[in-house]
Amino acid sequence: MTVVADMQCGSVAARTTPPILGVEELGVRYGALEALAGVSWQVEPGQILGIIGPNGAGKSTCYDAVTNLVVRSGRVVLDGEDVTKVPAHALASRGLRRAFQQNAFFDHLTVLENMVAVLQDDWGTSFPGCIFRPLAERRRAADARAAAAAQLARMRVEPRFHDRYPTEIPYGTQRMLSIALAHGGGAKVLMLDEPAAGLGGEDMRALVELLGALRDDGLSIVVIEHHMDLIMSVADRIVVLDQGRMLAEGTPAEIQANDAVLDAYLGRSE
Ligand SMILES: Nc1ncnc2c1ncn2[C@@H]1O[C@H](COP(=O)(O)OP(=O)(O)OP(=O)(O)O)[C@@H](O)[C@H]1O
């Protein structure tokens, strides 16, 4: 059973804010396997959308389809513009940013230098500038470090870790650094893939707080997550995938009360 049509009608009718990111009828095939079919969802500015589903449901494939990393059918609209044919790297510069399950850092750079490196577009030095305007370039480099430090602090990476190498900092802080680097400075939509994987109680609370703060700042976040407590507490809306298809879409309360979801995924307590 699917409740997608019902939920879509309801949400479209009630919606007042245009979505920042919308995907329509996404489909992906891996040979004979239909890994994704007819998947449509939207996220509004300042909203967190959770994507859940059992292993192999198609969650990561959905991210690959949105960010144009696989051959797919369907349509992707970012901030009112059809970006279906825009390649992945160009989507990132338009503000659609993605963090992967595995942390990916420049291990030979400090935490602060990693952040400076991803802010390079805004703050990068130029060779002619270094030769002809060295003082201005030095100021620019100092400004870049200040902007990087501010962004790290916003993402809960404490100053005491800024001059350490990523492999030297606690795992929970590495996850925050991953989010900071994915966000860069100018994300409109941040797509996170299992940000809570491997996190314990205190780190989990810090992550919930960070996601809430970013949402309150107007950022739109899409989160794939197996950790149900996290997703139910932070998400405004949830999409449930099962075998590549949408099983349900709704608020956390609606999803927790949905018979099809309870049968297929969440499990019944009775
Ligand atoms: N490159 C690929 N080639 C062939 N099949 C693939 C490929 N990538 C994924 N699949 C298959 O597509 C289906 C969906 O996989 P996907 O990784 O999207 O699921 P998922 O919901 O993210 O799972 P998990 O929660 O375990 O990460 C699975 O059956 C998987 O084996």
The total of other beta-carbon atoms located within 10 Å of residue 213's CB is: 13
Alpha carbon distance, N-terminus to C-terminus of the chain: 21
Q: Say if residue 12's pLDDT is above 60.
A: no
Distance 85 CA to ligand 1 centre (A): 23
Instruction: Determine the pLDDT at residue 129.
Output: 59
Q: 261-268 — which CB contacts under 8 Å span 24+ positions?
A: 264/54, 264/240, 265/52, 265/53, 265/54, 265/240, 266/228
pLDDT tens across 182-205, in order? 998 789 999 999 999 889 888 999
The better pLDDT of the pair 16, 9 is held by: 16
Pocket lining: 102 vs ligand 1, CB cutoff 6 Å:
no
At residue 166 the predicted structure's pLDDT band, cuts being 50, 70 and 90, is very high
Give the integer Cα–Cα distance in Å for 141 and 117: 11
pLDDT tens across 252-268, in order? 999 999 998 888 776 65
Tell me, what DSSP letter sits at residue 72? E
Average pLDDT over the chain reads 87
Q: Classify 247 as helix, strand or coil.
A: strand
Distances (CA, A) of 221 to 132, 182, 185, 201: 42, 12, 15, 22
Handedness of CA 13, 76, 260, 232 (dihedral sign): negative
Instruction: Determine the pLDDT at residue 11.
Output: 44
Pocket lining: 56 vs ligand 1, CB cutoff 6 Å:
yes
The total of other beta-carbon atoms located within 10 Å of residue 206's CB is: 16
Instruction: Determine the pLDDT at residue 15.
Output: 52
Asked if residues 256 and 240 have their Cβ atoms less than 8 Å apart, the reply is: no
Longest dimension (CA), the chain: 74
The better pLDDT of the pair 55, 134 is held by: 55
Reported ipTM: the value is 0.96
Query: Among 51, 59, 192, 193, which residue has the most ligand 1 atoms within 8 Å of its CB, making it the best to mutate?
Result: 59
pLDDT tens across 117-163, in order? 988 765 555 666 556 666 667 787 888 899 999 999 999 999 999 99
Question: Can you say whether residue 202 is alpha, beta or left, with left for phi > 0 and alpha for psi between -120 and 50 degrees?
Answer: alpha
Q: Say if residue 214's pLDDT is above 90.
A: yes
Give the integer Cα–Cα distance in Å for 10 and 4: 10
Which atom of ligand 1 is closest in space to residue 31's alpha carbon? Answer: 4
Take atom 29 of ligand 1 and give the residue whose Cα is closest.
Answer: 56
Instruction: Determine the pLDDT at residue 9.
Output: 38
Pocket lining: 53 vs ligand 1, CB cutoff 6 Å:
yes
Distance 56 CA to ligand 1 centre (A): 5
Take atom 1 of ligand 1 and give the residue whose Cα is closest.
Answer: 30
Alpha helices in 44-133 (DSSP H): 59-66, 88-93, 111-118, 120-123, 127-132
81-82 and 72-78 strand pairing: antiparallel
At residue 13 the predicted structure's pLDDT band, cuts being 50, 70 and 90, is very low
Q: Say if residue 111's pLDDT is above 60.
A: yes
Pocket lining: 30 vs ligand 1, CB cutoff 6 Å:
yes
Whether the pTM exceeds 0.90: the reply is no
Distance 124 CA to ligand 1 centre (A): 38
Instruction: Determine the pLDDT at residue 125.
Output: 56
DSSP H/E element including 51: strand 48-52
